[in-house]
Amino acid sequence: MPLPIAACVFTKKPYNLGNMGQDKAGLLFRRPFWKWLVFLAVGLLLIGWLLNTPEGLLGKADAIGYAVCHRIDIRSFHLGVRQLPLCARCTGMYLGAMLGLAYQQVLGRRRGGMPPRHVLVVLGLFVAAFGVDGVNSYLHLFPGAPSLYQPQNWLRLLTGTGMGLVISAAVFPAFNQTIWKDWDERPALPGLRSLGGLVLLALALDVIVLTENPIVLYPLALISAAGVLVLLTMIYAMILTMVFRVENHFTAITQLALPLAGGFGMALVQIVLLDWVRFVLTGTWAGFQLG
């Protein structure tokens, strides 16, 4: 445990990251050794991962998808003949999550209130649709197994996007509640009108994906893979602030360099480990094969 944070933990004194020039409790910034040590470790880890993964931006995106997605070719969209980094369901989920995070940031900066009940009901329907379509799709891996309907990639994309919106609706307020000292208690999605606007944007995004136009699909492929890193970084940053008992002590984005770097490092460790285990077991960067 870094000494500045440990001092606050064991003395139970508040750890305030406000005005660094006047706030004597901002010990972490008065001892930059720990900050630069974290930056160095994360930088070395990132370089090592970049040097040992497939070439090109899409190759790196493939390596991210490889850690969290089955990447079955027939269940994925394609850039020409090239499979996207994530399957149709995961593409929708992480694009939906990124869209939801951006939408809530614009709609309600630092809002940390959970959505009202009627919004939660709709989000619950998205979760149910994701589960039903996922189980139905999974059953088709087994010849002769009962199923409700023939799975389709457009359905995987649609239900995945809905689940991504749910994830963003949970992560966004949780992050604000955990990180910011002056977080707003109002919900970022205060009603069905705001949720409806988000859903319409998500549907428009899915239509764009379904065109499989390389001009738009290429950046969307990168954004979906980046969504994995963004979500993991946010979650691990929250965990770190709670472990070191510095939650609700941040007032400016510039103060988040260390927790975000630490969160990104932990996210990268998870991806590296999952990449390594899967590559050892399969010997290839390709997705799982059916039949």
Q: What is the chain's pLDDT, residue by residue, as a tens digit (291 residues)? A: 343 333 343 333 444 444 443 343 345 544 676 778 888 999 999 999 999 999 999 999 999 999 999 999 999 999 988 999 999 999 999 999 999 999 999 988 899 999 999 999 999 999 999 999 999 998 888 888 888 889 999 999 999 999 999 999 999 999 999 999 999 999 999 999 999 999 999 999 999 999 989 999 999 999 999 999 999 999 999 999 998 888 888 998 888 988 999 999 999 999 999 999 999 999 988 888 775
Give the pLDDT of residue 112.
93
Give the pLDDT of residue 184.
92
What is the sign, positive or negative, of the torsion defined by CA atoms of 270, 273, 277, 279?
positive
Kindly state the DSSP code that residue 207 receives in the 8-state scheme.
Answer: H
Nearest to 31 by CA among 54, 6, 11: 6
- Please report, for the chain, how many H helices and E strands are present, in that order: 10, 4
What's the rounded Cα separation, in Å, for the pair 201 and 99? 8
What's the rounded Cα separation, in Å, for the pair 114 and 121? 13
> Half-sphere exposure of 211 toward its Cβ, with a 13 Å CA cutoff?
12
Give the pLDDT of residue 197.
96
Give the pLDDT of residue 27.
52
Give the pLDDT of residue 4.
38
Give the pLDDT of residue 288.
82
Give the pLDDT of residue 31.
60
By the 10 Å C-beta count (0-12 exposed, 13-18 middle, 19+ buried), 29 is classed as middle
Kindly state the DSSP code that residue 109 receives in the 8-state scheme.
Answer: T
Are 232 and 263 a contacting pair, CB within 8 Å?
yes
∠ Cα 151 228 251 (to 5°): 140
CB within 8 A of 60, min separation 6: which ones?
50, 53, 54, 225
Pairing of strands 111-113, 184-187: parallel
